[in-house]
A and B are shown apart, each in its own frame.
Chain A
Amino acid sequence: MVQFNWFHVGFLLQAAQWTVLLSLLAFVGGGVFGLAVALCRISRYPLLRWMTTAYIQLVQGTPLLVLLFLAYFGLSIMGFQLAPLAAAGISLTIYSAAFLGEIWRGCIQAVPRTQWEAAECLGLNRFEQLLRVILPQAVRIAVPPTVGFMVQIVKNTSLASVIGFVELSRAGNLVNNSTFQPFIVFTTVALFYFCLCYPLSVASRRLERRLNAVRN
């Protein structure tokens, strides 16, 4: 029987890189599409609002696990054989965009309607109103819930193990299978997750303080 040793820690560290990569894919993909979703949700065109609402309802009502299965196994049956990384990237993006889009829509709408009106009365067009007046205020509101969701995403990337990813959780499982020291193995895994998530929370607090400190 092999004892838990530094070799295993190195293995976990390598796997943690996949967790980071998957998280980044989710943040970037989800961020870009999430912003588009948020803007469509407040659009003047009913069709855009309707379509994005349907998208959000659909995705929010579906487990991430099922999205991963669909992207990897479902699409392959239809003839699109995706690499695990592509399948995970796509499902995480679809998933995050729905949640971030809805979070950010709320933040945009939390800015008083009179701010739109005041900007409109100064002659700014709708895009300028959004860019120069509404979004800067919405960002301030958006920091805490966005970071909260990002932390969730880091942890949810563990689900990508079902399509063959050896990320942090799966790696922990493998190490445990050879060492049978679940307590020490999974404590180490938990510690790794903490080390990934905690800096996010700290950065969020800093950012919040900085955004508010501008005025004092």
Chain B
Amino acid sequence: MQSAINASDIAGSIGAYQPSESAAQTGSMISVANLHKSFGVHQVLKGVSLTVQKGQMVAIVGRSGSGKSTLLRCMNALETIESGELNVCGHAVHDRSRVNLRELRKQVGIVFQSYNLFPHLTVERNITLALTTVKAMDRAAATRKALEVLEQVGLAQKKDAYPEQLSGGQQQRVAIARSLAMAPQVMLFDEVTSALDPELTGEVLKVMEQLARDGMTMVLVTHEMAFARKVADVLVFMHDGKIWESGPPNELFDAPKTKEFAQFIGSGL
């Protein structure tokens, strides 16, 4: 344990990139401090600290097993945390006994690699389900909202289709729309294009880029290096359960500070 904390301190000093105005808590949507998480004896997160400002897009990259997906799932309280602090949209997620999960989930949307649409419901019902049950909207308002977000992802004409009738890219865009309909303050994307071919990946990334331009606060775990470099405000490279490097993507890509990141982008690009 002791050694892990020391290591994380070192990692923190290498890569704890913070935008200049970050000292003020007001602008930060997510703040993670010295987060630890294990599955059994396997330590997945070994002291992660990170701040996400309002309107930022933070892209987390790294090898499989580096803990990036786990970090993302922690932010939505899908995983429990061992130690450290995690504040998301004003919710103290680390305090499991006190955090209001329903409120947290209203404010934090997540999109998964495998879409996870509800196969027994039409595209429209997939979107309106949570609006009518969780947000207590009436059916007409929920339907209007569904159409609005479907238009945003360019799929209004598919509102009556069932998920299995759509391509992977379309399903993923519906999943984004479903999450978007809840009007979240932060959206999390967990390798959302990893199951798609390049063409379908493109259509999903376009939607995400537009979201970023509209000012949505986004954290994504991704393998799309070119996309991360082009669109993200902050790039985070995770390695061995720690944040190894972080900063503006161009700086990191042009001049990797660690040999692990250099190796990672060397093999990845």
Partner-B contacts on A (CB < 8 A): 114-115, 117-125, 128, 132-133, 136-137, 140, 214-215
Chain B nearest CB from A215 CB (Å) reads 4
B98 contacts the other chain (Cβ, under 8 Å)?
A: no
- Nearest-CB residue, chain A, relative to B188: A121
Contacts of B105 in A (CB 8 A): 120-123
With A114-B112, A121-B78, A121-B110 given, is the CB distance from A133 to B118 under 8 Å? Answer: yes
Interface 9-mer from B127-135, B149-157, B191-199, B218-226: B127-135
Question: Chain B nearest CB: distance from A214 CB in Å?
Answer: 8
Q: Tell me if B42 is interfacial: C-beta within 8 Å of chain A.
A: no
Q: How far is the CB of B244 from chain A (nearest CB, A)?
A: 28
Write out the residue numbers on chain B whose beta carbons fall within 8 Å of the beta carbon of A215. 162, 164-165
Q: A133-B118, A215-B162 are in contact. Are A117 and B129 (CB under 8 A)?
A: no
Min distance, Cβ B5 to any Cβ of chain A, angstroms: 31
What distance in Å separates the Cβ of A127 from its nearest Cβ neighbour in chain B? 10
What are the 8 A-B residue pairs with the smallest beta carbon separation, nearest first?
A118-B116, A122-B130, A123-B105, A123-B134, A215-B162, A136-B120, A114-B116, A121-B110
**Which residues of B lie under 8 Å from residue A118 when comparing CB positions?**
112, 116-118
Chain B contacts for A120, CB-based, 8 A: 78, 105
B133→A124 contact, CB < 8 A:
yes
List the B side residues contacting A121 at CB < 8 Å.
76, 78, 105, 109-110, 179
Taking a contact as CB atoms closer than 8 A, the residue among A117, A124, A140 that contacts B120 in the complex is A140
Interface residues of B (CB under 8 A from A): 76, 78, 101-102, 105-106, 109-110, 112, 114, 116-120, 129-130, 133-135, 162, 164-165, 178-179, 182
Find chain B residues with CB under 8 A from A128 CB. Answer: 133-134
B102 to chain A: closest residue by CB: A123
A26 to chain B, nearest CB (A): 29
Q: Does the CB pair B106–A115 fall under 8 Å?
A: no
Alpha-carbon gap, A8 to B185, bound state (A):
76
Q: Is the interface of A mostly helix, strand, loop or mixed?
A: helix
Pairs A–B under 8 Å by Cβ, sample size 12: A118-B116, A121-B105, A122-B129, A122-B130, A122-B182, A124-B130, A124-B133, A124-B134, A128-B133, A133-B129, A137-B118, A215-B164
* Distance between B238 CB and nearest chain A CB, rounded to angstroms: 22
| Complex-state Cα separation, A108 to B109, whole angstroms | 26
Q: A115, A123, A132, A133 — which one has the most chain B CB atoms within 10 A of its CB?
A: A123
Q: Given A118-B118, A123-B130, list of 19 further CB < 8 A pairs?
A: A114-B116, A120-B78, A121-B78, A121-B105, A121-B110, A122-B105, A122-B130, A122-B178, A123-B101, A123-B106, A123-B135, A125-B102, A128-B133, A128-B134, A132-B129, A133-B129, A136-B120, A137-B120, A215-B162
A132 touches B76 (CB 8 A): no
Distance, CA A24 to CA B134, complexed state (A) = 38
Contacts of A124 in B (CB 8 A): 129-130, 133-134
Decide: A115 and B165 in contact? CB cutoff 8 A: no
A114 to B190, CA, bound (A): 13
Closest residue of chain A to B165 (Cβ to Cβ) is A215
Cα–Cα distance between A115 and B175 once the two chains are bound (Å): 12
* Most chain A CB atoms below 10 A, which of B109, B117, B119, B178: B119
User: Which residues on the A side are within 8 Å of B135 (C-beta)?
Assistant: 123
B102 / chain A contacts, CB cutoff of 8 Å: 123, 125
Q: Return A63 CB to nearest CB of chain B, in Å.
A: 38
- Report A-chain residues with C-beta under 8 Å of the C-beta of B179: 121-122
How many angstroms between the C-alpha atoms of A164 and B110 in the bound complex?
A: 62
Min CB distance A44 to B, Å, is 14
Q: A121-B78, A121-B105, A137-B119 are in contact. Are A114 and B130 (CB under 8 A)?
A: no
B116 in contact with A117 (CB, 8 Å): yes
B241 to chain A, nearest CB (A): 22
CB within 8 Å for A123 and B182 given contacts A132-B129, A132-B133, A215-B162:
yes
CA distance A124 to B133 in the complex (A): 7
Chain A residues with CB under 8 A of B178: 122
Contacts of B129 in A (CB 8 A): 122, 124, 132-133
User: Measured between C-beta atoms, what is the minimum distance from B184 to chain A in Å?
Assistant: 10
